[in-house]
Amino acid sequence: MKIGIIGVGLIGGSFARDLKRVLPDAEIFGMDNNPDHLKTALELGIIDSAGKGSSLAEAEIVFLAIPVDAAVRELPSLLNTVGDETLVIDAGSTKSLICAVVSNHPKRRNFMACHPIAGTEFSGPRAALEGLYEGKTNIICEVEKTAFKLQEKALDLFSRIGMRIRYMNPEAHDKHIAYVSHLSHISSFMLGKTVIEKEKNERDIFDMAGSGFESTVRLAKSSPAMWTPIFEQNRENVLETLREYIQNLEAFRKKLADDDMEGIYREMEDTNKIREILKGIPLNKKEA
């Protein structure tokens, strides 16, 4: 089996590592617009060879792991290039625009729109981890538009890797993911910005930073090249989540200004219920 990985960084590289574990006889080629990434992926044994355009027509599976703006541009031409029986899977954090751009493509049946909820704050092939997807949820959108035999192939592969499957329409996906992923990244970036600006005048502030700060701000180390297009494509949903988040921050600020400690206590006590919501969900401190 020949498998292509387009984008050999954290997401694509980790997928390749898992493929090598569950499909040891597969030949995995990689493609990336960064030559250094390809070189590193080869050196680390993440991929077996560097692919070229003609490789795509021979591939049984192609995994697209590039920023969502690039995916929107490249996916139609990628479908033009692959073979009639090739399964193309993407891993983008937004789904509405990606699904829309290929909605009328003659090879729409070859494409499965996915979002594996996994990752770390690091990027590039050196960040790739075997087992990154173990136990993680993979959201599949518009599964009915993928050819049934290609659905079976994909689901078998995801099962071997150890992923859990959820089905969702693209609009619902983008709305929900704005709350549980996109907003948390914005919060982390802006917390980091606030502290960096303060640090200019108080040089010892980072000496006082504990594990709580580190865990809250770690996402601020994520790639701007990946996240800016995500915020752009999911702009309306992100704006809505920000409005609600800012309202809650303002309400907390007012309670503090009014010396309403009982109100603050109740706010935090009510929010503690999230422990029950998340109970039983495996949490990885490095998960995106």
Q: Domain count of the chain? A: 2
Least confident interval from 16-25, 150-159, 181-190, 192-201: 192-201
Q: By C-alpha distance, which of 38, 36, 243 is closest to 28?
A: 38
Question: Is 283 within a domain?
Answer: no
Contact 65, 11 (CB under 8 A): yes
Residues 6+ away with beta carbon under 8 Å from 254: 260
Question: Is 230 within a domain?
Answer: yes
Tell me what pLDDT residue 286 has: 38
Q: Domain check: are 17 and 79 in the same one?
A: yes
Contact 31, 5 (CB under 8 A): yes
Domain housing 20: 2-169
d(CA 193, CA 71): 29
Task: Indicate the pTM of the whole model.
Answer: 0.85
Q: Domain check: are 272 and 185 in the same one?
A: yes
- pLDDT tens figures, 40-55: 999 999 999 999 888 9
Examine the pLDDT at 131 and tell me if it is beyond 50.
yes
- Segment 88-94 shows an average pLDDT of 97
- More reliable by pLDDT, 206 or 185: 185
Domain final residue pick, 169, 196, 215: 169
User: How does the average pLDDT of the chain come out, rounded?
Assistant: 91
In the chain, pLDDT over 70 holds for what percent of residues?
A: 91
- pLDDT tens figures, 232-287: 999 999 999 999 999 999 999 999 999 999 999 999 998 888 777 666 555 443 34
Question: Is 288 within a domain?
Answer: no
Structure tokens at 115: 């979002």
d(CA 29, CA 48): 6
Domain final residue pick, 169, 192, 226: 169
Tell me what pLDDT residue 140 has: 98
Q: Domain check: are 148 and 192 in the same one?
A: no
Q: Domain check: are 47 and 128 in the same one?
A: yes
Tell me what pLDDT residue 285 has: 37
Question: Is 286 within a domain?
Answer: no
Q: Domain check: are 133 and 83 in the same one?
A: yes
Q: Domain check: are 155 and 249 in the same one?
A: no
Structure tokens at 27: 């030949």
d(CA 65, CA 138): 14
